[in-house]
Structure 1
Amino acid sequence: MKPIENRKDINVLVNAFYAKIRKDEVLGPIFNGHIEEERWPEHLEKLTDFWETNLFGIAKFKGNPTLKHINVDKNLNHTVEQKHFGIWLQLWFETIDELYNGELADKAKESARRMAHFQFMAIWNKRPEAVKEG
């Protein structure tokens, strides 16, 4: 086990994590249905940028993850649930624990926990009232 030290470490983490996501019976169809096969390498680089920005404070990431999550929920007829974020977190923690330890590994877990909550609430708050009332 080693600490997260650089972009290469983040890239290894991101690639290992999304390999699991793509194979997951619940999340795989969602991610694979929204990201075309040929766009995965580009997407993984963007996610590496995101985590490099998050963990090291290096301003590389450009994008709006919240808007992307809101659009995915809309495309799925507002069916994204907390359980989806729970599975995402479980796989993230599992992947980190398999590869890394230390302060930045812990920071990556805590950041993901906060993001999962924030993203779900953002999705919920943008849903039409009729969907919320269900």
Structure 2
Amino acid sequence: MKQIENRADVYKLVSEFYTVIRANPVLGPIFNHHILDDQWPAHIDKLTDFWVTNLFGEICFKGNPSQAHLKVDNHLNHNMEQHHFEIWLNLWFETIDNWFDGALAQRAKDAATRMATGQYLFVLKSRQQINT
């Protein structure tokens, strides 16, 4: 096992993770609907930027994950549920544990836990605002 030390390590983590996600019977169809085959390389680069920003504090990510999650929830007829985030999080943890250890690996797990919780709550709140 090695520690996450640089952008190349983050790219490896993100690439391996989304290979697993795309093959997952629950999450794969969702992700593959929104990100076409030819779009995956750019998406992996963008998500690498996201995690480099979160792990190293190097500001390189530009995007709005909350809006992306709302778009997915709309596509799922507002049926995105906590179990979707739990599956995502468990696969993230498994991928990290397969490749990395150390302080930044733990930071990636902790950050993902906070983000998954925050994104799910954001989706729920947005639904409530639509229904009122």
Distance 2:113 2:131 in 1: 26
> Which has the higher mean CA deviation after the structures are superposed, 67-76 or 82-91?
67-76
Structure 1: gaps of 5 or more residues: none
Aligned counterpart, 1:105: 105
CA deviation after TM superposition for structure 1 residue 62, in Å: 0.3
Task: Write out the 4+ residue segments of structure 1 that deviate beyond 6 Å after TM superposition.
Answer: none
Question: Match of 2:25, SS?
Answer: coil
User: Could you report, residue by residue, the CA deviation over 1:77-105 in whole angstroms, capped at 9, with x for unpaired residues?
Assistant: 10100000000000000000000000000
TM-score (norm. length: structure 1): 0.95
CA deviation after TM superposition for structure 1 residue 129, in Å: 2.3
Distance 2:61 2:70 in 1: 19
1:124 and 2:124 aligned: yes
TM-score (norm. length: structure 2): 0.97
Structure 2: gaps of 5 or more residues: none
How large is the RMSD of aligned CA atoms in angstroms? Answer: 0.8
Aligned counterpart, 1:21: 21
Distance 2:26 2:20 in 1: 11
**Aligned-partner residue type, residue 15 of structure 1:** S
Distance 1:9 1:114 in 2: 22
Aligned counterpart, 1:69: 69
Question: Match of 1:79, SS?
Answer: coil
Distance 2:58 2:28 in 1: 30
**Aligned-partner residue type, residue 125 of structure 2:** N
Instruction: Give me the identity figure in percent.
Output: 55
Aligned counterpart, 1:35: 35
Question: Match of 1:9, SS?
Answer: helix
